[in-house]
C-alpha cells in the first residue's frame, strides 16, 4: 500500500501515444476550444466524443464524403495514425 | 487617510510583495521557473499550456498592458461593426491557471545570467525564457512618419488599441467624397490578409454611410499577398467604384501638411492616411540578440521554438523568421506556443522533445457579415530541418459567405478563450 501511494505521487511521463495525441490535438483548440471544449455553439466540442466517431468523421472529411467548409482541407494534412492518436486523446477528455 | 488612498497603498503593497516573492530562484514548491515576455496570442497561450501540462512549473507572464486587445476582429471596430470592449479580455483567466501575471515592462534580457530586467519589478530569474514580443515598426524607413503620427496626421492601427479608436474617429469624421488612403508594407508583415480585410470592411462602411467616399490601397507588394482571388471577387462584386488598388507602390515618406503619401513612383493625397510601416521582431528581441535574419526576424528550431541565436530562450509568433508558407497570424502564434510549451515540459523533465505538427486557420471579413478563410497544416521535415506545409492539405474558402463569417466569430471566441480563459 505505502509503495503504491508513493508511486502515485511521482508524476509519471505520459505514454508516447498520448503525448502525440495531446500535442497534435492542441492545434485544434484555436477553433474547437482548449482540450476540445468549445465556448461557442457554432463549433463542435470534441472532448469526450467516441474515438471511432472522430476517426470516421476525419476519414469522411478526407475522402470528401462529408462536405465541409474547412475540415476537408485540414484532414488531408494528417495520417491515419495521427488521426487515431488525436481521436484517442479527445475521447479521453472530460466533456 | 481617504479610503481610496488607502486602497491605492494596499494595492501597491500587494504588488510589491508579489514581485518580491518572484525575485530570486523558483519557489520551493516549484521545480523550475519559466518567464514569458509578452501576453499576446503567443505568450498568453504558452503561459497557460505550460501550467496545464506541468503544474510543477512556475510561470510568470510579463505584460505591459493590463488588458489584452485582439488584433483579429479589430478591423470590424474600424468599420463600426463591433466595439473595442468586444475585442478586449482580462488576464484573470490565466491567474486562475496559476500563472503569475506581472503587469510590467521587460526592459532587458541577460541570457548569460538567465535574468529578465523589469521596469518596476527588478530582476526576474528564469530556468527557461519564452519571448513573444510581436512586431515593432521601422518608422525610419518612411520619412517624417513619426512626427506626422504624433500629430495624428497618419496612423497605422496595426496594433489594436488607441490607434484603432483614433482611426475609427477619423473615418467617422471624414467628409463624404473623401479618400481613405491605405499603404501596405513589403511582406512579410503581421497578418498578410489584414490590410485587404481592412479595405473591404471600411468600403462596406462607406457604402452605407458615405457613398461617395473611396478606399485607395497602395501596396508595396506587386499583388494582394493573401486570398487574392477571393478579395478581388469581393471587391468587384461589392465595392466597384469604391476600392482602387495599386500594386508596386511603396511608401517612402509622409507630407503631413498636404496629407500626402510619397511613394517611389508617385505622390498620392488622401483625407485619412493609414500607412502601415515595415515591421520586424519587437524591440526586446533586438535588445536580447534574438534577431538573426534581415535585421528583422528571429530564426528558431521549429521542434522547440528555441532561438538559434540564444540558448534557453524560445521565441514565438510574428517575431519569428516564418517557416515556408507560414503566415504571421494569431493562430500560428497560438500553435507556436503549444510547440514551445510541450518542448519546455520535456526539456525540464530531462527528456528530448519530439517535433509537433501544427495548423493555421485565418478568417478575413470582406463585409460586415461575410468572411473568407485560409488554412494550412505544417509538419516537421527532417531533411530540411523546418516545418513545411503538408502537400495536398490546406487551401481557401470556396467562396465568401455568411457561414464563414459565423465561423470567424466562433474562431475568435475560441482562440481568445484558448489563450486567456
Least confident of B25-34, B43-52, B98-107, B251-260: B25-34
Residue A3 lies in a domain: no
CB atoms < 10 A from the CB of B165, how many? 14
**Subunit contact B358:A27, Cβ cutoff 8 A:** yes
Measuring CA to CA, how many Å separate B395 from each of A61, A76, B230?
14, 11, 12
B108 and B182 together in one domain: no
Place of cell 530570486: B24
This complex has an ipTM of 0.91
Instruction: Tell me what pLDDT residue A15 has.
Output: 83
Place of cell 497602395: B218
| Cα dihedral across residues B279, B281, B282, B287: positive or negative | negative
B161 and B77 together in one domain: no
Pair B357, A24: CB distance under 8 Å:
yes
Rounded mean pLDDT of B252-256? 98
Pair B20, B47: CB distance under 8 Å:
no
B18 versus B161: the higher-pLDDT residue is: B161
Least confident of B3-12, B90-99, B182-191, B227-236: B3-12
Per-residue pLDDT reduced to its tens digit, B320-331: 999 999 999 999
**Subunit contact B417:A39, Cβ cutoff 8 A:** yes
What's the structural domain count of chain A? 1
With 0-12 CB in 10 A as exposed, 13-18 as middle and 19+ as buried, what is B6?
A: exposed
What is the C-alpha to C-alpha distance for residues A16 and A38, in angstroms, rounded to an integer? 26
**Subunit contact A43:B407, Cβ cutoff 8 A:** yes
Instruction: Tell me what pLDDT residue B21 has.
Output: 55
Residue B79 lies in a domain: yes
Q: In this structure, what CATH number is given to the domain that contains residue B335?
A: 3.50.50.60
What is the C-alpha to C-alpha distance for residues B243 and B348, in angstroms, rounded to an integer? 53
List CB contacts (< 8 A) between A23 and chain B.
Answer: 338, 342, 354, 356
B345 and B266 together in one domain: no
What's the structural domain count of chain B? 2
pLDDT category of residue B19 using cuts at 50, 70 and 90: low
Question: Nearest-CA distance from B391 to chain A in Å?
Answer: 7
Rounded mean pLDDT of B183-202? 98
Best to test chain A binding among B44, B99, B338, B400 (most A CBs inside 10 Å):
B338
Rounded mean pLDDT of B123-135? 98
B106 and B175 together in one domain: no
Residue A7 has pLDDT above 90, yes or no: no
In chain A, which residue's Cα lies nearest the Cα of B395? A73
pLDDT category of residue A2 using cuts at 50, 70 and 90: very low
Torsions phi, psi for A40 (to 5 deg)? -120, 160
B167 and B84 together in one domain: no
Instruction: Tell me what pLDDT residue B357 has.
Output: 98
**Subunit contact A77:B377, Cβ cutoff 8 A:** yes
B179 and B90 together in one domain: no
Measuring CA to CA, how many Å separate B251 from each of A51, B137, B169, B278?
54, 14, 23, 10
B21 and B108 together in one domain: yes
B294 and B316 together in one domain: yes
| Cα dihedral across residues B322, B325, B331, B337: positive or negative | negative
CA–chain centroid gap for B106, Å, is 18
Residue B200 lies in a domain: yes
Residue B62 lies in a domain: yes
Residue B131 lies in a domain: yes
Residue A5 has pLDDT above 90, yes or no: no
CA atoms within 13 A on the CB side of B114: 16
Residue B11 lies in a domain: no
> Average per-residue pLDDT in chain A?
90
pLDDT category of residue B12 using cuts at 50, 70 and 90: very low
**Domain of B23?**
17-136+280-352
In chain A, which residue's Cα lies nearest the Cα of B400? A69
8-state DSSP, B421: -
Residue A9 lies in a domain: no
Length of chain A: 95
Question: Nearest-CA distance from B393 to chain A in Å?
Answer: 5
B72 and B26 together in one domain: yes
Select from B376, B375, B48 the least CA-distant residue to A35: B48
Place of cell 519557489: B27
List CB contacts (< 8 A) between B335 and chain A.
Answer: 26-27, 30
Per-residue pLDDT reduced to its tens digit, B147-191: 999 999 999 999 999 999 999 999 999 999 999 999 999 999 999
**Touching check for A43 and chain B: CB below 8 Å?**
yes
**Domain of A83?**
14-91
Residue A5 lies in a domain: no
B52 versus A14: the higher-pLDDT residue is: B52
CA–chain centroid gap for B114, Å, is 26
B65 and B130 together in one domain: yes
Rounded mean pLDDT of A25-31? 98
Select from B183, B186, B252 the least CA-distant residue to B215: B183
**Touching check for A93 and chain B: CB below 8 Å?**
no
**Subunit contact A29:B393, Cβ cutoff 8 A:** no
Rounded mean pLDDT of A44-52? 96
> Average per-residue pLDDT in chain B?
94
B317 and B268 together in one domain: no
% of chain B at pLDDT higher than 70: 93
Rounded mean pLDDT of B348-370? 97
Residue B414 lies in a domain: no
Percent composition of chain B: helix, strand, coil (DSSP 3-state, to 5):
35, 30, 40
Residue A26, C-alpha cell as written in the block: 492542441
Per-residue pLDDT reduced to its tens digit, B371-406: 999 999 999 999 999 999 999 999 999 999 999 999
Q: Which of A27, A33, A43 sits opposite B359 (nearest CB)?
A: A27
Question: Nearest-CA distance from A52 to chain B in Å?
Answer: 22
Residue A60 lies in a domain: yes
Select from B198, B194, B211, B145 the least CA-distant residue to B167: B198
What is the C-alpha to C-alpha distance for residues B335 and B42, in angstroms, rounded to an integer? 8
User: A20 pairs with which residues across the strands?
Assistant: none
Place of cell 497560438: B334
Name the domain boundary from B252, B277, B302: B277
Instruction: Tell me what pLDDT residue A9 has.
Output: 47
**Subunit contact B410:A40, Cβ cutoff 8 A:** yes
List CB contacts (< 8 A) between B380 and chain A.
Answer: none
Residue B71, C-alpha cell as written in the block: 488584433
Instruction: Tell me what pLDDT residue A17 has.
Output: 81
Residue A21 has pLDDT above 60, yes or no: yes
DSSP per-residue codes, A1-44: -HHHHHHHHSPPPPPHHHHHHHHHHHHHHHHH-GGG--SSSSS-
B175 and B246 together in one domain: yes
Look at residue B406 and give its three-state secondary structure.
helix
Beta-carbon contacts of B333 under 8 Å, excluding residues fewer than 6 positions away, are B40, B41, B42, B45, B132, B316, B317, B318
| Cα dihedral across residues B73, B74, B80, B84: positive or negative | positive
**Subunit contact B417:A19, Cβ cutoff 8 A:** no
What is the C-alpha to C-alpha distance for residues B34 and B102, in angstroms, rounded to an integer? 13
Residue B395 lies in a domain: no
Residue B16 has pLDDT above 90, yes or no: no
Torsions phi, psi for B73 (to 5 deg)? 80, -5
User: B76 pairs with which residues across the strands?
Assistant: none
With 0-12 CB in 10 A as exposed, 13-18 as middle and 19+ as buried, what is B236?
A: exposed
List CB contacts (< 8 A) between A19 and chain B.
Answer: 342, 354
% of chain B at pLDDT higher than 90: 93
CA dihedral A80, A83, A85, A89 (to 10 degrees): -160
**Subunit contact B411:A30, Cβ cutoff 8 A:** yes
Look at residue B252 and give its three-state secondary structure.
strand
Q: Which of B342, B351, B394 sits opposite A77 (nearest CB)?
A: B394
Q: Which of A20, A28, A77 sits opposite B390 (nearest CB)?
A: A77
Instruction: Tell me what pLDDT residue B28 has.
Output: 62
Q: In this structure, what CATH number is given to the domain that contains residue A32?
A: 1.10.760.10
Amino acid at each position: 500500500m505505502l509503495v503504491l501511494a508513493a508511486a502515485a505521487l511521482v508524476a509519471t511521463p505520459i505514454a508516447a501515444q498520448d503525448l502525440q495525441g495531446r500535442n497534435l490535438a492542441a492545434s485544434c483548440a484555436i477553433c474547437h476550444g482548449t482540450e476540445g471544449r468549445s465556448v461557442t455553439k457554432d463549433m463542435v466540442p470534441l472532448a469526450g466524443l467516441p474515438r471511432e466517431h472522430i476517426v470516421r468523421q476525419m476519414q469522411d472529411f478526407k475522402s470528401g464524403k462529408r462536405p465541409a467548409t474547412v475540415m476537408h482541407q485540414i484532414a488531408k494534412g494528417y495520417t491515419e495514425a495521427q488521426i487515431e492518436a488525436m481521436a484517442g486523446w479527445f475521447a479521453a477528455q472530460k466533456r | 487617510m481617504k479610503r481610496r488612498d488607502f486602497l491605492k497603498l494596499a494595492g501597491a503593497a500587494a504588488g510589491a510583495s508579489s514581485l518580491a516573492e518572484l525575485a530570486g530562484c523558483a519557489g520551493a514548491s516549484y521545480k523550475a521557473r519559466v518567464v514569458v515576455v509578452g501576453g499576446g496570442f503567443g505568450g498568453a497561450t504558452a503561459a497557460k499550456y505550460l501550467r496545464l501540462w506541468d503544474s510543477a512549473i512556475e510561470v510568470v507572464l510579463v505584460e505591459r498592458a493590463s488588458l489584452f486587445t485582439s488584433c483579429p476582429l479589430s478591423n470590424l471596430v474600424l468599420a463600426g461593426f463591433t466595439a473595442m470592449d468586444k475585442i478586449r479580455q482580462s488576464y484573470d483567466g490565466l491567474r486562475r491557471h496559476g500563472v503569475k501575471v506581472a503587469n510590467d515592462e521587460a526592459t532587458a534580457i541577460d541570457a548569460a545570467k538567465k535574468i529578465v530586467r523589469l521596469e518596476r519589478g527588478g530582476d526576474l530569474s528564469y530556468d527557461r525564457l519564452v519571448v513573444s514580443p510581436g512586431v515593432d515598426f521601422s518608422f525610419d524607413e518612411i520619412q517624417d512618419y513619426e512626427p506626422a503620427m504624433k500629430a495624428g496626421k497618419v496612423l497605422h492601427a496595426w496594433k489594436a488599441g488607441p490607434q484603432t479608436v483614433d482611426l475609427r474617429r477619423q473615418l467617422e469624421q471624414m467628409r463624404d467624397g473623401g479618400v481613405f488612403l491605405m499603404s501596405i508594407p513589403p511582406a512579410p508583415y503581421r497578418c498578410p490578409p489584414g490590410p485587404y480585410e481592412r479595405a473591404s470592411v471600411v468600403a462596406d462602411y462607406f457604402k452605407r454611410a458615405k457613398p461617395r467616399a473611396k478606399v485607395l490601397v497602395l501596396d508595396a507588394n506587386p499583388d494582394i499577398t493573401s486570398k487574392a482571388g477571393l478579395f478581388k471577387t469581393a471587391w468587384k462584386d461589392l465595392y466597384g467604384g469604391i476600392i482602387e488598388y495599386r500594386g508596386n507602390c511603396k511608401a517612402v515618406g509622409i507630407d503631413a501638411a498636404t496629407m500626402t503619401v510619397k511613394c517611389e513612383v508617385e505622390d498620392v493625397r488622401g483625407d485619412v492616411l493609414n500607412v502601415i510601416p515595415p515591421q520586424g521582431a519587437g524591440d526586446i528581441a533586438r535588445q536580447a540578440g534574438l534577431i538573426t535574419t534581415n535585421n528583422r526576424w528571429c530564426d528558431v528550431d521549429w521542434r522547440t521554438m528555441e532561438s538559434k541565436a540564444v540558448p534557453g530562450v524560445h521565441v514565438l509568433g510574428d517575431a519569428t523568421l516564418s517557416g515556408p508558407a507560414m503566415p504571421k497570424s494569431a493562430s500560428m502564434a497560438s500553435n507556436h506556443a503549444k510547440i514551445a510549451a510541450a518542448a519546455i515540459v520535456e526539456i525540464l523533465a530531462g527528456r528530448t522533445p519530439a517535433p509537433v505538427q501544427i495548423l493555421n486557420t485565418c478568417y478575413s471579413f470582406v463585409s460586415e457579415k461575410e468572411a473568407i478563410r485560409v488554412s494550412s497544416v505544417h509538419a516537421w521535415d527532417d531533411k530540411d530541418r523546418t516545418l513545411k506545409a503538408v502537400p495536398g492539405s490546406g487551401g481557401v474558402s470556396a467562396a465568401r459567405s455568411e457561414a464563414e463569417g459565423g465561423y470567424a466569430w466562433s474562431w475568435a471566441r475560441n482562440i481568445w478563450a484558448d489563450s486567456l480563459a
